[in-house]
Amino acid sequence: MRNPEKAARLTSAAVAPATPVSTLAEDVRAGLLSRPRWLPPKYFYDDRGSELFEAICETPEYYPSRTEAALLAAHGREIMEYARCDHMLELGSGSSRKTRHLLDACDALSQACSYWPFDVSAQMMLDAGAALVQDYPWLDVHALIGDYTGGLSNLPLPTTGRRLIVFLGGTLGNFEPGAARGMLEQIAALMRDDDLLLLGVDRVKDSAILEAAYDDAAGTTAAFNRNVLRVLNRELGGDFPVDSYRHRAVFDRAHARIEMRLAARHAHRVTLAALDTTFDIAADEEIVTEFSHKFTPQSLDALLADAGLALDRHFEAPAGAYSLVLARRRA
């Protein structure tokens, strides 16, 4: 049975988008029915997709998650001591697994803050929140359910107190450059002089390492990628032959990004009943399902500066494999 005291320390609220967010049907019409075909990555994260992402983080090839976790474990105390935040907002928090390093640091410093995870995947976030209030008796968790592409100005955050905004996992890399800048501008707009952004980004490196990270031998990333077609089948009455798609992960050095694609093994016709639409996919035709941009110290600096932010501290993994940075709003 749930302890009522714990329940009161975990609240949840749906966040209405501040700017219009397209529906799945609109995104499918705009992306899947155009050439090249594409889909926004947020549709990966139904319950199954969120679990598959967690499983990806356990694969030997997917280094970003464990590399970032090691940085948080090593520098969490320094980060929290420096941030001295009253409220921690985390964008795309998922399972909040790595955030625990920051909460452990709060514990060690006897420094309490409230936690505001914001994610489109409600179940994963609520399960994580329930575990967090259990494990950290001083913690209040206010789960915010919504789509961050609808902006951040509608978040019901406390208006006083110092904020730390956390955006981990390299998820900023899933935005195209203009949208990444827009997202950082939204973050900057939430920040006052003493507030900080803690941002994790993956770095440009050898393409073999990058491509293996997005095409693990056990096929977990392939299952995650194909899962988006299951989402379309379920939500739009589709009949994609899910297993007839090959997973591909290609590093495009010119754009400094991994492109995940699904390639049809054979020609077939697809019906999406909810859209009253039927279309033909040719053999080897591809759907782009995700970009995952990788950064250099220079490209990261430039992106932060364009959004009105300035790098304050930089925690770098060995061989420059990954960057965790603290940034402030520029004066």
Q: How many residues of this chain bind ligand SAH (CB under 6 A)?
A: 18
The number of residues making up the chain comes to 331
- Round to whole Å and give the CA distance between 170 and 88: 18
Three-state SS at 93: coil
Task: Spell out, one character per residue from 58 to 77, where the chain touches ligand AVI: x when CB under 6 A holds, - when not.
Answer: ------x-------------
Q: What is the DSSP letter of 253?
A: T
Stretch that binds ligand SAH, among 42-50, 131-139, 205-213, 250-258 (CB under 6 A): 42-50
What are residue 145's DSSP bridge partners?
Answer: 14, 119
CB 65 within 8 A of CB 95: no
List the one residue out of 217, 218, 213 whose CA is nearest residue 202.
Answer: 213
| Residue 115 is a binding residue for ligand SAH (CB under 6 A) | no
| Residue 171 is a binding residue for ligand SAH (CB under 6 A) | yes
Stretch that binds ligand SAH, among 89-97, 132-140, 313-321, 322-330 (CB under 6 A): 89-97
In the complex with ligand SAH, the residue whose CB is nearer, 224 or 245, is 224
Stretch that binds ligand AVI, among 99-107, 134-142, 163-171, 297-305 (CB under 6 A): 163-171
| Residue 40 is a binding residue for ligand AVI (CB under 6 A) | no
The answer, yes or no, to whether the previous bond of 158 is cis (omega within 30 of 0) is: no
Among 40, 117, 129, 169, binds ligand AVI (CB under 6 A): 169
Q: At its nearest, how many Å lie between ligand AVI and the CB of residue 36?
A: 19
Among 76, 169, 173, 238, binds ligand SAH (CB under 6 A): 169
Residues between 224 and 263 that touch ligand AVI (CB under 6 A): 224
- Round to whole Å and give the CA distance between 245 and 322: 31
C-alpha count within 13 angstroms, C-beta hemisphere, residue 309: 32
Here the tokens at position 200 are: 């994790």
